[in-house]
Amino acid sequence: MRYGHFDDETREYFITQPDTPLPWINYLGCEEYFGLISNTAGGYSFFRDARLRRITRYRYNNVPMDMGGRYIYLRNNANGYSWSPSWMPVRRSLDFYECRHGMGYTKITSTSHEIMSQVRYFVPLGERLEVWELSLTNQRSTVANISVFSAIEFALWDAWDDATNFQRNFSTGEVEVEGSVIYHKTEYRERRDHFAFFACSEPLVGFDTQREAFLGSYRGWDSPLVVEQGQSENSIAHGWQPIGSHHISLRLHPSETRQIIFVLGYHENPRDQKFDPPDSQTINKRTASPLIARYLDPAQIQAAFDALHDYWDGLLSVYQVHTPDEHTNRMVNIWNAYQCMITFNMSRSASYYESGIGRGMGFRDSTQDILGFVHMVPERARQRILDLAATQLGSGGAYHQYQPLTKRGNNDVGSGFNDDPLWLVLAVSTYIKETGDWEILDEKVPYDNQVGSEEPLYGHLQRSLRYTIDHLGPHKLPLIGRADWNDCLNLNCFSSEPGQSFQTTTSKDGKVAESVFIAGLYILAAQEMESLARHLDRQTDVLAALETAVDMEDVLWQSGWDGAWFRRAYDDFGNPVGSQECAEGQIFIEPQGICIMAGLGLNNHLARLALDSVKERLATPHGILLQQPAYSHYYLHLGEISSYPPGYKENAGIFCHTNPWIMIAEALTGDGDQAHNYYLRINPSAREAISELHRCEPYVYAQMIAGRDAPTHGEAKNSWLSGTAAWNYVAITQWILGIRPSHSGLEIAPVIPSSWQGFSAQRIFRGVIYDITVERIGSGNSSHLFIDGQPVEGSIVPLPTPGTKVVKVRVQIGK
């Protein structure tokens, strides 16, 4: 069953009924000011950091699940009937409803009692504000007297403090109202140099800034007293819960349309110019006012919206493809790329499943996000790499997370996740392949943000590799530390007390438990390091990378191979995890993917054997399971993985992040049918038809789909913020469609389904447009390249002479 449909022309998903199985959300803003918005206008906004600069309030885990947002109430003044044009929060039925989520904007249209309402929400590029454009049309044959009420609830900035220290916050809230603008200035009197504003284009007949006055006591957002009575209270918040609500009264003639604009924003003043007059406590509005005026002007707004549209045109044009499969086209050309932008911006901080309070930017998360994002805005990827590297520790280890506002490592979680630093090597080499910007390796970057500790980025990468070699265990495999990629395989934790953090509790000295996954990742990273060092002509480093990779491979075959697949780890007792010897958790997906991506078993039949084991034991129609058999009990020596009921999350769920590793491995063995078949199993668009089972948004990936041991097999959870976005993008664009940057040019080596007769693609790479046509001339995936009509050896299109604008590539595949 579907709850809407795609429109690939407009790059929108149309939701046609408001009660989707879960809130289906979108993101506004892609630079500094961000918002989450659901299909019923729920959600919130923040400036840069969802914890430290939360602008509007949102209560997670609420009843109903999505409550609080960017609400508008309409009231028929003739009879007092009121409704929400976004259906929520009033939930009165609408005669028509449609929500279109697009690239950086959301548009909700509805009709009730012959009043048509349309609201378009977006964040203009370069601004720290969001615009809501409301237009109302009277479809009646008589005059309509309508009251419009806006409503948002301000958060008192630090979302953690807002939720926990509310006794203080009940006394700190402060606002100002001037004309049609409501200013939220809590804590501005003391250390904050920022305030929020909520402006309206129309003269007001009233306003409210005190939540209780607007809602009435004992009432919720679904039935505000002020809307019921049809008149605002003109309340001024003194503490308690400041809100912003404008009241506009309209007299609409038959067929008349009126536009009302609301602007919600964040503004900073220089510390010495906070007040006007200087000795007062009144906000200095000199720089904010012109900005507000600008975005209350419809012409300016349309120009800003067009600019946003053009921006996305540009970003998406970097990789466009036309294949025989609509789900591939749609995800590659639109939604998967879009999700990669969102994961790049948010890491795992703020979604409808991540509170924005607990996690900042994850080290391994953000480094992997870069893999799917770098081609869109390489300069931002560059900055992110340098920010991440600055949180690396002198030992080569890394803080697991950092706060986006301060860019400092997060001490609560600390370090010791032993895979973290290796991902940095992959991110940097991917960045250089995309851009050819070798200078990044010379950038001086500190360790742990300490002044004086700066070293060229190249040295950071060397230390990343060194960190693994400095932490080897009894089998000479890398020690796992707190956890590797699988945060829930906690082999040194041994936690028996409820409430202890699996991520930070370490009851063992960590000298025994080892990770086969990190060994595979190490080889992959060492290979990248080798090519970086070779380019720089650093022979010693080339040799060191080669030798350590070869040694690691030997160790892997000796202690990491289980006979028909790669093992996962060794626990604190030195026993294997992910082996035939185990009663449960015999085979894990991660080492099969990473080891084959590192090249293991490709020159003999062992990669094939491991992949056949995956197919036989882990593959389901809904995707590939993380491991099997699921853990049926909680095991002290395995940690959080066994805390989940079988089939959920890391305990044998379909953890979508890992599936593309198998797709890539299949492509490396040349099986395009299997690779693409796995691709489609978790492709959100392909799952749209089973939305009632999948439940999450059909336009973005979710972290997890319940595995076959779960009663709800096929149900997705935790949409949007997952490494799934970047890795699926990499798997389909670089390994199945086979178009991937390399240091010496654009490589094109498709491994596509046998039924495909070909495809065409446009890839903009280092400023040149590659116009690519692939045609099948026989079976198999061996390919022959013709550049501007001339045959070339190998699979790499060499970098063209400077000044070249377009390169035409024809690829013949099959024999």
In the list ligand NOJ, ligand BGC, none, the entry touching 699 (Cβ below 5 to 8 angstroms by class) is none
Does 346 sit near ligand BGC (CB under 6 A)? Answer: no
Site for ligand BGC in 649-708 (CB under 6 A): 649-650
Q: Nearest distance from residue 138's CB to ligand BGC, in Å?
A: 50
**Contact predicate 638/644, CB 8 Å:** no
Exactly one of 365, 514, 528, 666 binds ligand NOJ (CB under 6 A); that residue is 365
CA distance 399 to 665: 30
Nearer to ligand NOJ, 183 or 353 (CB): 353
CA distance 749 to 337: 21
CA distance 55 to 356: 12
How many residues line the site for ligand BGC (CB under 6 A)?
6
Q: Nearest distance from residue 365's CB to ligand NOJ, in Å?
A: 5
In the list ligand BGC, ligand NOJ, none, the entry touching 503 (Cβ below 5 to 8 angstroms by class) is ligand BGC
Rg (CA), the chain: 28
Tell which phi-psi region holds residue 767, choosing left (phi > 0), alpha (psi between -120 and 50) or beta.
left
Nearer to ligand NOJ, 86 or 503 (CB): 503
631: DSSP letter: P
Site for ligand BGC in 280-309 (CB under 6 A): none
Q: CA 674 from chain center: how many Å?
A: 27
Does 364 sit near ligand NOJ (CB under 6 A)? Answer: yes
Q: Nearest distance from residue 358's CB to ligand BGC, in Å?
A: 7
In the list ligand NOJ, ligand BGC, none, the entry touching 364 (Cβ below 5 to 8 angstroms by class) is ligand NOJ
**Contact predicate 500/513, CB 8 Å:** no
Does 400 sit near ligand BGC (CB under 6 A)? Answer: no
CA distance 773 to 812: 9
In the list ligand BGC, ligand NOJ, none, the entry touching 485 (Cβ below 5 to 8 angstroms by class) is ligand NOJ
Q: Nearest distance from residue 385's CB to ligand NOJ, in Å?
A: 17
**Contact predicate 240/213, CB 8 Å:** no
Nearer to ligand NOJ, 288 or 594 (CB): 594
Q: Determine the residue with CB nearest ligand NOJ.
A: 487
In the list ligand BGC, ligand NOJ, none, the entry touching 486 (Cβ below 5 to 8 angstroms by class) is ligand NOJ
Does 487 sit near ligand NOJ (CB under 6 A)? Answer: yes
Q: How far is CA 632 from CA 139, 485, 629, 635, in A?
A: 60, 22, 8, 9
**Contact predicate 385/457, CB 8 Å:** yes
Nearer to ligand BGC, 410 or 435 (CB): 410
Nearer to ligand NOJ, 124 or 723 (CB): 723
223: DSSP letter: S
H or E element at residue 195? strand 194-200
CA distance 805 to 189: 56
DSSP 341-374: HHHHHHTTSBSSSSBSSS--EEHHHHHHHHHHHT
Spatial CA neighbour of 227 closest among 242, 248, 198: 248
What is the x/- site pattern for ligand NOJ, positions 618-657, by CB under 6 A?
--------------------------------x-------
Nearer to ligand NOJ, 71 or 661 (CB): 661
The number of residues in the chain equals 815
With a CB cutoff of 8 Å and minimum separation 6, the contacts of 201 are 180, 259, 260, 261, 262, 296
The amino acid at residue 799 is: L
Q: Nearest distance from residue 198's CB to ligand NOJ, in Å?
A: 34
Which segment (174-182, 241-249, 284-292, 481-489) binds ligand NOJ by CB under 6 A? 481-489
Nearer to ligand BGC, 471 or 482 (CB): 482
Exactly one of 373, 485, 661, 699 binds ligand NOJ (CB under 6 A); that residue is 485
Cβ neighbours around 431 below 10 Å, total: 22
Residue 72 main-chain phi, psi, to 5 deg: -130, 135
What is the x/- site pattern for ligand BGC, positions 616-655, by CB under 6 A?
------------------------x--------xx-----
Spatial CA neighbour of 515 closest among 554, 481, 561: 481
Does 486 sit near ligand NOJ (CB under 6 A)? Answer: yes
CA distance 550 to 533: 17
Nearer to ligand NOJ, 352 or 485 (CB): 485
What is the x/- site pattern for ligand NOJ, positions 689-718, by CB under 6 A?
------------------------------
Tell which phi-psi region holds residue 459, choosing left (phi > 0), alpha (psi between -120 and 50) or beta.
alpha
Q: CA 746 from chain center: how many Å?
A: 27
The amino acid at residue 203 is: P
Which segment (207-215, 217-225, 448-456, 486-494) binds ligand NOJ by CB under 6 A? 486-494
CA distance 426 to 435: 14
- Reading the block at residue 187, the tokens are 């804590």
Q: Which entry of 487, 541, 571, 671 is annotated as an active-site residue?
A: 487
Nearer to ligand BGC, 75 or 649 (CB): 649
Cβ neighbours around 15 below 10 Å, total: 25
The amino acid at residue 469 is: I
Nearer to ligand NOJ, 485 or 565 (CB): 485
In the list ligand NOJ, ligand BGC, none, the entry touching 86 (Cβ below 5 to 8 angstroms by class) is none
DSSP 391-431: TB-TTS-B-SEE-TTT--B-TTT-S-BTTHHHHHHHHHHHH
Beta bridge partners of residue 760, listed in sequence order: 322, 773
Nearer to ligand NOJ, 468 or 703 (CB): 703
Residue 148 main-chain phi, psi, to 5 deg: -115, 130
Exactly one of 50, 488, 721, 737 binds ligand BGC (CB under 6 A); that residue is 488
Does 487 sit near ligand BGC (CB under 6 A)? Answer: yes
Does 419 sit near ligand BGC (CB under 6 A)? Answer: no
Does 400 sit near ligand NOJ (CB under 6 A)? Answer: no
| Catalytic annotation present for 487 | yes
Does 349 sit near ligand NOJ (CB under 6 A)? Answer: no
In the list ligand NOJ, ligand BGC, none, the entry touching 325 (Cβ below 5 to 8 angstroms by class) is none
In the list ligand BGC, ligand NOJ, none, the entry touching 433 (Cβ below 5 to 8 angstroms by class) is none
With a CB cutoff of 8 Å and minimum separation 6, the contacts of 602 are 596, 668, 669
CA distance 784 to 55: 55
Q: Nearest distance from residue 650's CB to ligand BGC, in Å?
A: 6
What is the x/- site pattern for ligand BGC, positions 781-800, by CB under 6 A?
--------------------
Exactly one of 56, 86, 106, 503 binds ligand BGC (CB under 6 A); that residue is 503
Instruction: Write the burial class of residue 499 (CB in 10 Å: 0-12 exposed, 13-18 middle, 19+ buried).
Output: exposed
Q: Which residues bind to ligand BGC, rule: CB under 6 A?
A: 487-488, 503, 640, 649-650
Residues with active-site annotation: 487
Q: Which residues bind to ligand NOJ, rule: CB under 6 A?
A: 348, 362, 364-365, 485-488, 650
